[in-house]
Structure 1
Amino acid sequence: MVEGKRIVGMLTDRDIAVRAAAVALGSDTPVSEIMTRDVQCCQSVEELDHALDEMGEQKVRRMPVLSKEGEMVGMLSLADIVCIDDDFRSIGRALRDICTPHGVHSQAARTRPDID
């Protein structure tokens, strides 16, 4: 979501699943109630490897691209990168980082007392 020229949020399939569907919000729920507000962006002049590192660190599959002036000029996705990365090393590294469990919502971080 953009207000003026500033990105104020982004709605992803994960936002819909976690913030809307999981608590049975209706389709009349405003996007602003379920979108991610702290949107990580990259600059159009950054090297792709740096953007991929950021995507992996932030655990995101899509990242808005900003001009030097801070205006949104596009969206970088893992699918875009697959189309240009012939050896797939960069995309593989980013995907591994994105998919590595972390945080309080990670099932890998929990221990189950009933399993030895």
Structure 2
Amino acid sequence: MLVKDCMSRPVIMVSPIEDVAGAAMKMGHNDVGALPVTDGKKLVGMITDRDIAIRVVGNRNDPTTTVSDAMSKELLYCHEDDEVDSVLRNLADKQIRRLPVVDADKNLVGIISLSDLNDERTITVTEALHGITKPSKLHSQEM
């Protein structure tokens, strides 16, 4: 199965110049824990509820802090024509629960998460989750 067959769309996005309070409200309104950050259709980062909690609230920064100052700038993504099994392995290896999905021109076209992949696979969602939850320093929130 290909990513485009099970990814979520449309994607709720946020601009790097928006403030984190607005991003948090979008997350709450749409019941999501992460938003791709785009400059137009191009992916420039991701912001998660954890980014906001650690980088903004935990550092006692103002909620008007821009998304670009709080987002994860490391661009991890997959392509819409990738095989789901390889994406599951990547989620486990990188210890993440979701990935933005881009087309051949690197335009954001969707997002894929563990919940989108919840059926039988060569590598199961359970195996991916096991890899994701191993203790590590892969996602240090230090700025």
Q: TM-score, normalised by structure 1?
A: 0.79
Counterpart of 2:135?
A: 101
> Shift of residue 86 of structure 1?
4.6
- The structure-2 alpha-carbon separation of the partners of 1:13 and 1:86, relative to structure 1 and needing over 3 Å to count, comes to same
The unaligned stretches of length 5 or more in structure 1 are 107-116
Please give the alpha-carbon distance, in whole angstroms, between the structure 2 residues aligned to 1:86 and 1:38.
Answer: 30
Alignment partner of 1:38 out of 58, 74, 78: 74
Structure showing greater relative contact order (alpha-carbon pairs closer than 8 Å, 6 or more residues apart): 2
Question: Would you identify which runs of 4 or more consecutive aligned residues in structure 1 move more than 3 Å?
Answer: none
Alignment partner of 1:12 out of 19, 27, 48: 48
The unaligned stretches of length 5 or more in structure 2 are 1-36
- The structure-2 alpha-carbon separation of the partners of 1:100 and 1:72, relative to structure 1 and needing over 3 Å to count, comes to same
How many residue pairs match? The answer is 104
Counterpart of 2:104?
A: 68
1:9 alignment partner, SS class = strand
Please give the alpha-carbon distance, in whole angstroms, between the structure 2 residues aligned to 1:69 and 1:77.
Answer: 21
Q: Is the 8 A contact 2:95 2:138 kept in 1?
A: no
Please give the alpha-carbon distance, in whole angstroms, between the structure 2 residues aligned to 1:59 and 1:86.
Answer: 20
> Shift of residue 74 of structure 1?
0.2
Q: TM-score, normalised by structure 2?
A: 0.65
- Which has the greater radius of gyration? 1
> What amino acid is aligned across from residue 102 of structure 1 in structure 2?
S
- The structure-2 alpha-carbon separation of the partners of 1:28 and 1:54, relative to structure 1 and needing over 3 Å to count, comes to same
Whether 2:65 is the aligned partner of 1:29: answer yes
Please give the alpha-carbon distance, in whole angstroms, between the structure 2 residues aligned to 1:104 and 1:69.
Answer: 28
Please give the alpha-carbon distance, in whole angstroms, between the structure 2 residues aligned to 1:86 and 1:5.
Answer: 32
> Shift of residue 26 of structure 1?
2.1
Question: Identity of paired residues, percent?
Answer: 35
